[in-house]
Amino acid sequence: MKMHAKVMNVQHATYSFGAGVFFRLIIVLAFLLYAAGLTAKTPGSKTPGVFRAAVVKIDITPNSPKMLLGYQARQSTGVHDRIYHRIIALDDGVNQFFLVSSDICVISPSEYDHVAGLLQQQLGINPQNFWWSLTHTHSAPEVGVPGLPAVFMGERYKHPVDTAYTREVEEKLINGIIEARKNLAAAKLGVGWGFSQANINRRAIDENGKASLGMNPDGEVDRRIGLMRIDKADGTPLVLISNYPIHGTVLGGTNLDISADVPGLVSEYIEEKTGVPLLFINGAAGNLAPIYSTYPNIRSSHLGEFRVLLGDKILAANKLITTTTGTVKLNTGSLMVETPRRAGLGWPEDMGKYSRTSKTGDNTILLPIRFLKINEDIAIWSAPVELFCEISNAVRESSPFPFTFYFGYTNGWLGYLPSEDQFKYGGYEVETVCPFTPSVQKDLTEAVVGYLHGEMRSMATK
């Protein structure tokens, strides 16, 4: 029986940080819960129309050897550059939104759910308003249970989960959000585009039509830099958010030094030049590699060249942002795309909520998509996958919003999501680490574009 995709809207109405049911309780109890920071209402919700923001940077570099994620199982022997959580809190006076960029490869969606649950319990933050995006460096420690990678590549996960380091990462993230929320101050927002040729299509096709990991200069690419800058009320910069698709794989599998790879090096470079943090948010990098890839060690890697190849291009894009506004409205939404699961593929126990079996025995994947609308011109969507760039390119071209950004590697990892035409070439991304069928591109694109034109356009911004 042919499976048809289903789209399930989940909380696509604007989430308000009102106290809700607590106002139906006695006034004293509501006041105590608010003071304890346990309700969804935030300090900024008393001043609608006033945009505030804050940024926090927290070191998550371990002080002992760790198993690294991204290539074969291997343990670190040193640290080349430090890794961080970079956290932004945004408050439009009614809604608060939290974006985290972490120098980690991937996490299971269940790890995101666990942290999102803690934030909801402890701070009243709706999970829809908390996005945890990973830079996808392949030289950072594992965090949490392996999830789907253990199904694809079980030989890499014979060692125990590092629960101590996982707790450290979780606690630092939560504490960073607490600090960012406490430091919220009046701010302004600007947005723009840049361009960099730091990436290349990595799906090399041979004479037999077979794909392998390599370089394909004729393949589809996305070289746009999506850039947002948040300034303080006095016009001085507070933080940059850069969105660019590139694998964190300049360093190869023989490298044993912890490193944030391209995203981390570029972030540090921008911070040195501007004096403010940069959140590097990866894009649809499923088929995009850095133009220098998988070098055996730091010395031979050309890693430093990305300061020019990408860092200077972000700086150039920043100079083009000359207009900012303190009038900002945030709206979030989400939907679940149901699409067929690849035949014969097992499924990890910790991810039971992301798949289901029909009465006829057909398995499907439940793919969560998140949306953030900022005013009338910025639309951001995210998914927990390694998306092929031609899919995000098509969504951007079809979007009614002039600034449409895709945030990849966000809120977990459900494998590679290739375009339909790439399935016939096979290769690593399709045959080894993909849980989907060729229909997934159509299922996802129709759902996302429909949402952008429908629910997202109708979200109130005044």
What letter represents residue 385's amino acid? Answer: V
Place of tokens 């009338």: 376
pLDDT tens by residue, 17-28: 343 433 333 333
Place of tokens 């940024």: 55
What's the whole-number mean pLDDT along residues 360-374? Answer: 97
The values of phi and psi at residue 140, to 5°, are -120, 160
* 117 part of a folded domain: yes
* 255 part of a folded domain: yes
On whether the CB atoms of residues 261 and 304 are closer than 8 A, the answer is: no
On whether the CB atoms of residues 141 and 38 are closer than 8 A, the answer is: no
Question: What band does 14 get if pLDDT is binned at 50, 70 and 90?
Answer: very low
pLDDT tens by residue, 317-344: 999 999 999 999 999 999 999 999 999 9
Please check the confidence at residue 35 and state whether its pLDDT lies above 50. no
Question: What band does 49 get if pLDDT is binned at 50, 70 and 90?
Answer: confident
Would you give the end-to-end CA distance of the chain in angstroms? Answer: 47
pLDDT tens by residue, 171-227: 999 999 999 999 999 999 999 999 999 999 999 999 999 999 999 999 999 999 999
Number of H helices, E strands in the chain: 10, 25
The values of phi and psi at residue 127, to 5°, are -55, -30
Angle CA 263–267–271, to nearest 5: 175
Please check the confidence at residue 449 and state whether its pLDDT lies above 60. yes
| pLDDT confidence of residue 110 | 98
Residue 284's CB is within 10 A of a number of other CB atoms, namely 26
* 66 part of a folded domain: yes
pLDDT tens by residue, 266-317: 999 999 999 999 999 999 999 999 999 999 999 999 999 999 999 999 999 9
What's the whole-number mean pLDDT along residues 111-139? Answer: 98
Q: How many domains does the chain have?
A: 1
Helix (H, G, I), strand (E, B) or coil at 389: helix
> In whole angstroms, what is the distance from residue 366 CA to residue 369 CA?
10
pTM over 0.85: yes
On whether the CB atoms of residues 352 and 110 are closer than 8 A, the answer is: no
What's the whole-number mean pLDDT along residues 146-166? Answer: 97
Please check the confidence at residue 37 and state whether its pLDDT lies above 60. no
CA atoms within 13 A on the CB side of 72: 7
| pLDDT confidence of residue 172 | 98
Please check the confidence at residue 8 and state whether its pLDDT lies above 80. no
Mode of pairing for the β-strands spanning 130-134 and 96-102: parallel
| pLDDT confidence of residue 459 | 87
* 306 part of a folded domain: yes
> In whole angstroms, what is the distance from residue 76 CA to residue 192 CA?
38
| pLDDT confidence of residue 15 | 31
Q: Could you please report the per-residue DSSP string of 140-203? A: EE--S---THHHH-GGG--SPP-HHHHHHHHHHHHHHHHHHHHT-EEEEEEEEEEE---EEE-E
> In whole angstroms, what is the distance from residue 199 CA to residue 210 CA?
21
Please check the confidence at residue 433 and state whether its pLDDT lies above 70. yes
On whether the CB atoms of residues 131 and 382 are closer than 8 A, the answer is: yes
Question: What band does 83 get if pLDDT is binned at 50, 70 and 90?
Answer: very high
Residue 230's CB is within 10 A of a number of other CB atoms, namely 23
**Region of poorest pLDDT, from 3-7, 83-87, 106-110, 281-285:** 3-7
> In whole angstroms, what is the distance from residue 244 CA to residue 409 CA?
12
* 1 part of a folded domain: no
> What is the residue-averaged pLDDT of the chain?
91
Question: What band does 46 get if pLDDT is binned at 50, 70 and 90?
Answer: low
Q: Containing domain of residue 232, as a range?
A: 6-458
* 42 part of a folded domain: yes
Question: What band does 163 get if pLDDT is binned at 50, 70 and 90?
Answer: very high
